[in-house]
Amino acid sequence: MAWHEQEFLASLTSVAPRTRDAYRSDLAGFITWAERGDLHEPGGVDRVLLRRYVAHLSARRYAKRSIARKVAALRRYFRWVARTGRIPTDPSINLLAPRGEGRLPRVLRQDELSALLDAPGPAALSGDPVVRVRDDAVLELLYGSGLRVGELCSLDPTDLDLERARATVWGKGGKQRVLPLSEPAVAALRAWLVHRPDQAALFVNRRGHRLTPRDVRRLLDRRAVSPTHPHALRHTFATHLLDGGADLRVVQELLGHADLSTTQRYTHVSRERLRVVYEATHPRA
């Protein structure tokens, strides 16, 4: 009871059960380690001890991402212990964890892209043909213009200028940007607008309500040959632009990134793709 684990876990009313289980496991690991050093309550923990624990995890070859999660759990625990008056100060303030390896965005293979855009499988063809037309337009926009799924779902017909092949999008922070539309996207949108119900939203579901990100994920479940998140189409859009020689600043503007460093991760994907192609095709690779 000296560590007050159960009271802490009970205080996590706003987190998902899996997250609470992760906190329980991470806290138990720290307590076991601390008690091996004859420490049996949080009042004896200081920042030096916490840093030693992080070093211990690194020495045990835990992944950086796992260490970062454990550090986050400890910070939340000690913040709670201090806030509830069980210790005078929080020793985890400014406790740092090694930065996790950033995951490179997933880029769809050509066969995956073709299955989505050009040759949908039986699950897509056996349904309502009007839904198929809508889905075509959704996918052409996600890939052809690199929209975030939330941006796509918030579009209204008045945001489109099909004559000039462009769309006005409201991105993060209420920032507006005007994006070019690909020829296939314009054709797919024209076909959808013929069937679209008289609603304010550009894309609607079977009940006539504005399409949601969850609806788009279900769409991809029907059309994709392997599990695919809507954001993968945005990643593929950006990477294909860079593969084709597009300037990084232009890609930043198209994606609506406030920070160029966010866009730069796509250069790593592009370089990796070039390396794979080189090694697979060059006789001296």
Q: Are residues 195 and 72 in the same domain?
A: no
- Angle (nearest 5°) at CA 169 between 163 and 173: 165
Annotated catalytic, 109?
Answer: no
Q: Are residues 163 and 271 in the same domain?
A: yes
Q: Are residues 70 and 126 in the same domain?
A: no
- Residues counted in the chain: 285
| Chain segment 215-273, per-residue pLDDT in tens | 999 999 888 888 888 999 999 999 899 888 889 899 999 999 888 877 887 776 666 66
Residue 220 · residue 228 · CB < 8 Å: yes
Residue of 83, 172, 175, 209 marked catalytic: 172
Residue of 69, 70, 134, 148 marked catalytic: 148
Q: Which residues contact 206 (CB under 8 A, 6 or more apart)?
A: 128, 131
Annotated catalytic, 231?
Answer: yes
Domain with 158, as residue range(s), is 110-281
Domain with residue 71: its CATH number is 1.10.150
Residue of 70, 75, 234, 240 marked catalytic: 234
Q: Are residues 268 and 156 in the same domain?
A: yes
| Chain segment 98-115, per-residue pLDDT in tens | 765 555 567 888 888 888
Tell me, yes or no, whether 99 lies in a domain: no
Total domain count, the chain? 2
Model confidence at 285, pLDDT cuts 50, 70, 90, reads very low
Q: How far is Cα of residue 133 from the mean position of the Cα atoms in its chain?
A: 27
Residue 81 · residue 94 · CB < 8 Å: no
Annotated catalytic, 257?
Answer: yes
Tell me, yes or no, whether 13 lies in a domain: yes
Annotated catalytic, 70?
Answer: no
Domain with residue 267: its CATH number is 1.10.443.10
Annotated catalytic, 172?
Answer: yes
- Tell whether pTM > 0.75: no
Q: Are residues 51 and 189 in the same domain?
A: no
Residue of 4, 177, 257, 273 marked catalytic: 257
